[in-house]
Structure 1
Amino acid sequence: MVATTSQTEARRHVWAAAAAVTDPELPMLTLADLGILREVDITEDGVAQVWITPTYSGCPALAEMRVDVDAAVRAAGFEQVRVRTTLAPPWTTDWITPEGRRKLSEHGISPPGGAPERPAGPVPLTLLPTRTVPRCPLCGSAETEELSRFGATSCKSLHRCRSCLEPFEHVKEI
């Protein structure tokens, strides 16, 4: 651990290092932009601990995120690092920051709308897909169509704008 810093300063230092790590699938966003970075702490014996929440269970990028967070926190001066995964509360697209939404749009990816409201208790089974009609991130038109429910990654779908005719990806609401 950095030798002469207080616990609060050390936690801020760890947070800043982990927050700057970019998402392997959406490299224009940091883990902080996505709301994946949940908490940091320093143990009594000086281990920097970082908690992250995957965008969904089984996310293939999680292993890479863990490696990148570990490397970033070590580069910030912490010799011992533990990157932990927490699944509760589950991640939602509502955790994407306004800055993250702006960056998505600037890079031609339609940011998600609000996550669907879920009642307390067991998750209800719905057999019908939830569909949103995203605005084109290039021209702003709401005249868009879905080309494929599955994009380059599981969390995105592929669309086309009927106004400017450009294709774009949309981050699905979770």
Structure 2
Amino acid sequence: MASLAENQGKTQSLRDKAWAVAAKVVDPEIPVLTLEDLGVLRDVRVADDGAIEVDITPTYVGCPAMGIFTMDLETELAKAGFDNVRVKTVLSPAWTTDWISAKAREKLREYGIAPPEGKASRRALFGDETVTCPRCGSENTEKISEFGSTACKALWKCRDCAEPFDYFKCI
């Protein structure tokens, strides 16, 4: 009979393996980022019945990528040998761009999307933002549209290099 410590060790090992798999699932809208990079992956647990439970938080309520996140998590975990997986959407606390890792911000910039500048705050609601062009590094930019290629991004243009670009809005 396995001891309590041995069972806890096995559970932790399963959890760590499942987390590692879930952490590699990419965002279908921004394929250079993983769910972990975005801060969307909130928790992975081994339930009492042995199921792997994964908590994810959408970048905004109604995000169309959530269905893909769920399907991709279930698929990748099944490939890794986890047959019983439950993915749960967690709305509280609400996701914020503050959860995007520093590594993910750099990946966004390299991909041509301006990462959120600073911390989420009320000033972003009133258009008091300076956004750096991800292509040339200029701060001489202007907002063209509050909405870009997805609802969590705005469309901006650099006045120096004249290139349009998406800005991942501070939320």
CA distance in 2 between counterparts of 1:116 and 1:11 reads 34
Distance in 1 (alpha carbons) for counterparts of 2:122 and 2:104: 21
Alignment partner, residue 41 of structure 1: 45
Name the Cα RMSD after superposition.
1.5
Q: Does 1:7 align with 2:7?
A: no
In structure 1, how many angstroms separate the alpha carbons of the residues matched to 2:127 and 2:11?
A: 45
Offset, 1:44: 2.1
Mapping of 1:108-147 within 5 angstroms?
108-113=112-117, 114-116=119-121, 129-147=126-144
**What fraction of aligned residue pairs are identical, expressed as a percent?**
50
Residue equivalent to 1:52? 56
Alignment gaps of 5+ in structure 1: 119-127
Per the normalisation by structure 1, the TM-score is 0.88
Pairing 1:7-26 to 2, within 5 Å after superposition: 7-26=11-30
Structure with greater helix percent: 2
**Distance in 2 between the 1:64 and 1:117 partners?**
31
Distance 1:21 1:88 in 2: 22
Q: Kindly provide the CA deviation profile for residues 80-123 of structure 1, in whole angstroms up to 9, marking residues without a partner as x.
A: 000001111110000000011000000110000211169xxxxx
Could you tell me how far 1:159 is from its partner in structure 2? 0.9
Q: Which runs of 5+ in 2 are unaligned?
A: 1-8
List per-residue Cα deviations over 1:9-52 (Å, max 9, x = no partner).
10011111111000111111000000000001011221010000
Equivalent in the alignment of 1:155: 152
Letter in 1 for 2:121: P
**Which of 93, 99, 102 is residue 95 of structure 1 equivalent to?**
99
Which residue does 1:31 correspond to in 2? 35
Distance 2:18 2:127 in 1: 38
- The number of residues matched between the two structures is 161
- For residues 148 and 130 of structure 1, the distance between their equivalents in structure 2, rounded to whole angstroms, comes to 11
2:4 is matched with: none
Following the alignment from structure 1 to structure 2, what is the Cα–Cα distance between the partners of residues 130 and 55? 20
TM-score, scaled to structure 2: 0.90
The amino acid across from 2:136 in the alignment is: C
Q: Secondary structure at the match of 1:6?
A: helix
Distance in 1 separating the partners of 2:147 and 2:57? 22
CA–CA distance in 2 between the matches of 1:78 and 1:150?
A: 38
